[in-house]
Structure 1
Amino acid sequence: MGMVKLYDTTLRDGTQSEDISFLLEDKIRIAHRLDESGIHYIEGGWPGSNPKDVAFFKEIKKEKLSQAKIAAFGSTRRAKVTPDKDNNIITLIKAEPDVITIFGKTWDFHVREALRISLEENLELINDSLIHLKKNAPEVFYDAEHFFDGYKANPEYAIKTLQAAEDAKVDCIVLCDTNGGTMPFEVAEIIKAVKKQIKTPLGIHTHNDGECAVANSLVAVNEGIVQIQGTINGFGERCGNANLCSIIPALKLKMKRDCINEEQLRKMRDLSRFVYELANFSPPKHQAYVGNAAFAHKGGVHVSAIQRHPETYEHIRPELVGNCTRVLISDLSGRSNILAKAEEFNINLDSKDPVTLEILDNIKEMEHRGFQFEGAEASFELLMKRALGTHKKFFSIIGFRVIDEKRHEDQKVISEATVMVKVGGKIEHTAAEGNGPVNALDNALRKALEKFYPRLKEMRLLDYKVRVLPGGQGTASVIRVLIESGDKESRWGTVGVSDNIIDASYQALIDGIEYKLDKVEE
């Protein structure tokens, strides 16, 4: 069983997704990360379609990549133009990538209706475009667009289009499920049929419209394809492309296929989150392998079993993909959750210790009031340390005031906060402005505390979420605020609950600052 080559198209197909746009700098940074993670081919864009992609190919030449090859994407020549005169093909060659990938039409319906040329003419267009590119590029791949739909509609013609590519001696023919509606059993049958007539190495490129992109890619490997095209986190137009963050661990750990090494696999979660970060997306908790909830356990029975034998409720060891087992704290918590959670934070609790029971009761009472610690591990750790008496009190807040003022109808609202903080014997009284009351309060708190604790300057507020808790009281409802803070090393979540949004934000802000100071002390 040979190696399966990974072809990433996050920077091209991924950017066709609604809400996703990368700056040139982002694309360069992502390319470096993909290279470090062992991806073999990085498709940087379509130079013929926009100036930003032309700039990418120019810039990436100046960068040093350790092993990945850069691919440029485009289409076959236009009808009535020879390849050497076709602007798209000229631009592809000019970009000087390591690989050129072009797509052509497989489906007779598309040839007639979209290209409006004869079926014969389409075959010539595929063949001579590829022959010309083979003379001008080190490696050439052919993407057979709509292959599975085309094959189902007219199998003889679909195979002829592949033969036109094979006759041009391309390095790989990639079968595309462009509309994303093919089922895994169909993929298997069709690839078997193709392999009887085509000897060129085959690749697969699937979309997720039927929620089968990952399954279709893995089935294709089982049938002997040697290249998988996909994107990080499954980014892509409509419902997305095949998700490499699920494909790679499945290939390596479940199908025992060679693709990247173990050390690179351990970077999977980091890579996933890095791409979300640059796309300005919050990572979905429930994503397979890399999500925060992928190895999270809440039911008491699960937790006690997990502690004895992780494989009872985990399909792989989470560390293999850079993730970890998480024990969640909730109404379902038995004592085993609390103990496992304490262990995560190197806090030693004995299950018979009255403090354990006190923490458990305290959590249940807080959850009843609307607290939730799933996204706020830092608040939970502080809660335990306070109960154990091991938390150092760095400061106390004597009081604060926040004022929002609109001075004129067409002016912005001005927010100002004043705080009174006591550190040791000293009292600091500070005011600060901000855009919005929470930002003003955060600025005032830091301004007061940074004099005593300069390392607070390293900390940033990364995310702020407000959730109105169900209770049907309209504007008098209870509010939960989740704040994510971070520094260069890590990120941490804190929570506050109140019927007053400023008070809830204040609780989460204070916990965030206390957690940072606690970390610095360690």
Structure 2
Amino acid sequence: MSDFVSIFDTTLRDGTQGEGISLSVEDKLKIARKLDQLGVQYIEGGWPGSNSKDIEFFERAKELKLKHAKITAFGSTRRKHTRPEEDPNLNKIVESGVSVASIFGKSWDFHVEVALGTTLEENLAMIYDSVRFLKQKGLEVIYLGEHFFDGYKHNKEYALATIAQAEKAGADWIVLCDTNGGSLPGEVSDIVRDVCSRVGTPVGIHAHNDCELGVANSLAAVQAGARQVQGTINGFGERCGNANLSSIIPNLQLKMGYRCVSDEQLRQLTSIARYVNEIANVVMPVNQPYVGSAAFAHKGGIHVSAILKHASTYEHIEPERVGNKQRVLVSELAGQSNVLVKAKELNLDLDRENPRTREVIERIKELEHQGYQFEGADASLELLLREAAGGLEDIFTLESFKILVGKTADSGVLSEAIVKVKVHGDIVYSAAEGNGPVNALDSALRKAILKYYPDLADMHLTDYKVRVLDEKNATAAKVRVMIESTDHRNTWSTVGVSENVIEASWQALVDSFRYALLNRKPVCQSDNIPAERLGLVNH
């Protein structure tokens, strides 16, 4: 039995049926290039007869210089009582210029009679005629038995008769679909094994995730003899999604000994999975297996102490094999090991014998008790550790700030911030307007520091979140503010906590600027010219 499993990706077709997922033609082309880079064998681009976007995609996909994947067009069997030569759907597939067609037909007698409104005999003819027509046009044909598992469980003989017609007509693959996602792994395994014993055509699996079993059912099908797995990157898809290829590929390859892609391609899995989410404008769950940011993250002190001795104590694979990395989180659960690992990453002089190590641990625990959260504020944590190690320079300090907020009858709310800071010992005043008080503070602080550090012009805030920590105190409740910033090269997050949202925002904002200024020299120092001569100081 071959140990190679073919991967059929339907992110661009079935995946786009998921709620909130909308991809432009340009998006689909970008993702197709990445999927080819990952090494999948088939990329289902869409239904060329259904909409103008898919028609444009197939036209432009002809220009893609793919090295591994075949672009596949999706469609259905011919309409009832229609010759395949006259069926617009089948002809659109042929006209799309693809070399592979994936067409679905009904396997469940209930669907044939209720959904299609035709006879069981006519449905069998529709399957045979459609596959035969596409084969005669020179296409590789992947036949999808829609609702196959439900059909098999309700009328086994008829479900088997449908795929027998596809095989007789020359289908290159017969794919069994758990369209409603309601089957269990044991059922899938038994049914796939039975089908594989009856047909000579290679068998595939197309599972949905309505019972949280899309991945499990796909793996069970492969163990039973299936040699093609269909799914989507990160499990995109209608209702609860499709089988998640971001989990299926490494499970097959690293756990079960099958070959899907090369080892080098597998190392690109995490970056490609995150790229697809970015293009689709979907936030990836941090705990997504293999590719999530927390997939190899460790928080408990005992766990961290163990992985320092050997990573396999709490990691089921080496994260680098799928392009991910080990992370150590520092929080109120942290022990010395957590802090030492983070300090080592930053090349800071903290060790078990250093009393500052215990001090910074206690400081972190106290701050987290107050509501700070350093797991998601990597920059604020680094600043704390650098301060504990004695390697943090105070580039600027606050003297004062004022915020004015006003509104007139015929205008929106306008905020103005006036900031007085000490930068390298010099007092600098700055004022700026903004869409809100935080935006105004950001602009005013930037304006003051920019005179010394002009490359801060590349830095900007990308996200701002406020969470109320104790709702029972109503408007007097303590809030936590998380700010994400970028300079187009790196991205970092900072945190602030206070009963006053402006104060919490200021804390996070200041940390964001302090982090951005690490290892940067002011222009007046690098040029060895006093700041006063440059006109940078306003007294």
The TM tier, using the shorter chain, reads over 0.9
The answer to whether 1:232 aligns with 2:230 is no
Instruction: Give the Cα–Cα distance (whole angstroms) in 1 for the partners of residues 315 and 434 of structure 2.
Output: 45
5+ unaligned residues in a row in structure 2: which ranges?
A: 522-539
Contact persistence 1:233–1:245 (CA under 8 A): yes
Matching of residues 50-449 of structure 1 within 5 Å: 50-408=51-409, 411-449=411-449
After superposition, the C-alpha distances for 1:388-441 in whole angstroms (9 at most, x for unaligned) are: 221233333333333332222x74322333333443355443333333332332
The answer to whether 1:494 aligns with 2:499 is no
Normalising by structure 2, what TM-score? 0.93
| 1:266 to partner: Cα distance | 1.6
Instruction: Give the Cα–Cα distance (whole angstroms) in 2 for the partners of residues 443 and 134 of structure 1.
Output: 64
Task: Evaluate the alpha carbon distance shift between residue 45 and residue 432 of structure 1 in structure 2; reply closer, same or farther with a 3 A threshold.
Answer: farther
Task: Evaluate the alpha carbon distance shift between residue 45 and residue 330 of structure 1 in structure 2; reply closer, same or farther with a 3 A threshold.
Answer: same
| 1:34 to partner: Cα distance | 1.2
Equivalent position of 1:513 in the other structure: 513
The answer to whether 1:5 aligns with 2:6 is yes
Instruction: Give the Cα–Cα distance (whole angstroms) in 2 for the partners of residues 53 and 421 of structure 1.
Output: 56
5+ unaligned residues in a row in structure 1: which ranges?
A: none
| 1:165 to partner: Cα distance | 0.7
The answer to whether 1:474 aligns with 2:459 is no
| 1:184 to partner: Cα distance | 0.4
Instruction: Give the Cα–Cα distance (whole angstroms) in 1 for the partners of residues 454 and 262 of structure 2.
Output: 41
After superposition, the C-alpha distances for 1:169-209 in whole angstroms (9 at most, x for unaligned) are: 11111111000010001011001111121111111110001
Amino acid at match of 1:463: D
After superposition, the C-alpha distances for 1:105-153 in whole angstroms (9 at most, x for unaligned) are: 1000000000010001001111111111112243211111111001101
Task: Evaluate the alpha carbon distance shift between residue 452 and residue 179 of structure 1 in structure 2; reply closer, same or farther with a 3 A threshold.
Answer: same
Task: Evaluate the alpha carbon distance shift between residue 227 and residue 88 of structure 1 in structure 2; reply closer, same or farther with a 3 A threshold.
Answer: same
Contact persistence 1:100–1:137 (CA under 8 A): no
Contact persistence 1:481–1:508 (CA under 8 A): yes
Amino acid at match of 1:299: G
What is the root-mean-square deviation of aligned Cα atoms in Å?
1.8
Contact persistence 2:196–2:226 (CA under 8 A): no
Equivalent position of 1:44 in the other structure: 45
Task: Evaluate the alpha carbon distance shift between residue 119 and residue 320 of structure 1 in structure 2; reply closer, same or farther with a 3 A threshold.
Answer: same
Mean Cα deviation higher: 348-357 or 110-119: 348-357
Task: Evaluate the alpha carbon distance shift between residue 424 and residue 475 of structure 1 in structure 2; reply closer, same or farther with a 3 A threshold.
Answer: same
Contact persistence 2:478–2:499 (CA under 8 A): yes
SS in 1 for 2:286: coil
After superposition, the C-alpha distances for 1:285-339 in whole angstroms (9 at most, x for unaligned) are: 1111111221122222111111101111111111211222222222221111111
The answer to whether 1:32 aligns with 2:40 is no
Instruction: Give the Cα–Cα distance (whole angstroms) in 2 for the partners of residues 44 and 416 of structure 1.
Output: 50
Instruction: Give the Cα–Cα distance (whole angstroms) in 1 for the partners of residues 139 and 392 of structure 2.
Output: 62
SS in 1 for 2:517: helix
Instruction: Give the Cα–Cα distance (whole angstroms) in 2 for the partners of residues 49 and 119 of structure 1.
Output: 26
Instruction: Give the Cα–Cα distance (whole angstroms) in 2 for the partners of residues 173 and 250 of structure 1.
Output: 23
Task: Evaluate the alpha carbon distance shift between residue 256 and residue 434 of structure 1 in structure 2; reply closer, same or farther with a 3 A threshold.
Answer: farther
Contact persistence 1:107–1:149 (CA under 8 A): yes
After superposition, the C-alpha distances for 1:427-469 in whole angstroms (9 at most, x for unaligned) are: 4433333333323322333333333323323334222221111
After superposition, the C-alpha distances for 1:14-37 in whole angstroms (9 at most, x for unaligned) are: 111111111222211111111111
Task: Evaluate the alpha carbon distance shift between residue 58 and residue 412 of structure 1 in structure 2; reply closer, same or farther with a 3 A threshold.
Answer: farther
Instruction: Give the Cα–Cα distance (whole angstroms) in 1 for the partners of residues 419 and 237 of structure 2.
Output: 47
Mean Cα deviation higher: 59-68 or 180-189: 59-68
SS in 2 for 1:259: coil
After superposition, the C-alpha distances for 1:48-97 in whole angstroms (9 at most, x for unaligned) are: 11111111112222232232211111111111221121111122222112
Instruction: Give the Cα–Cα distance (whole angstroms) in 1 for the partners of residues 145 and 519 of structure 2.
Output: 54
Task: Evaluate the alpha carbon distance shift between residue 262 and residue 435 of structure 1 in structure 2; reply closer, same or farther with a 3 A threshold.
Answer: farther
Instruction: Give the Cα–Cα distance (whole angstroms) in 1 for the partners of residues 259 and 96 of structure 2.
Output: 31
Mean Cα deviation higher: 187-196 or 333-342: 333-342
SS in 2 for 1:492: strand
Structure with greater Cα Rg = 2
Contact persistence 1:93–1:137 (CA under 8 A): no
Instruction: Give the Cα–Cα distance (whole angstroms) in 2 for the partners of residues 150 and 469 of structure 1.
Output: 51
Amino acid at match of 2:450: E
Contact persistence 2:372–2:497 (CA under 8 A): yes
Instruction: Give the Cα–Cα distance (whole angstroms) in 1 for the partners of residues 252 and 316 of structure 2.
Output: 14
Contact persistence 2:348–2:389 (CA under 8 A): no
Normalising by structure 1, what TM-score? 0.95
| 1:215 to partner: Cα distance | 0.6
Task: Evaluate the alpha carbon distance shift between residue 145 and residue 479 of structure 1 in structure 2; reply closer, same or farther with a 3 A threshold.
Answer: same
The count of residues paired between Structure 1 and Structure 2 equals 520
Contact persistence 2:39–2:262 (CA under 8 A): yes
Task: Evaluate the alpha carbon distance shift between residue 30 and residue 481 of structure 1 in structure 2; reply closer, same or farther with a 3 A threshold.
Answer: same
Task: Evaluate the alpha carbon distance shift between residue 88 and residue 499 of structure 1 in structure 2; reply closer, same or farther with a 3 A threshold.
Answer: same
| 1:471 to partner: Cα distance | 5.7
Instruction: Give the Cα–Cα distance (whole angstroms) in 2 for the partners of residues 271 and 190 of structure 1.
Output: 33
Instruction: Give the Cα–Cα distance (whole angstroms) in 1 for the partners of residues 42 and 458 of structure 2.
Output: 37
Instruction: Give the Cα–Cα distance (whole angstroms) in 2 for the partners of residues 429 and 60 of structure 1.
Output: 56
Instruction: Give the Cα–Cα distance (whole angstroms) in 1 for the partners of residues 115 and 289 of structure 2.
Output: 38
Equivalent position of 2:526 in the other structure: none
SS in 2 for 1:467: strand
Mean Cα deviation higher: 110-119 or 290-299: 290-299
Amino acid at match of 1:504: A
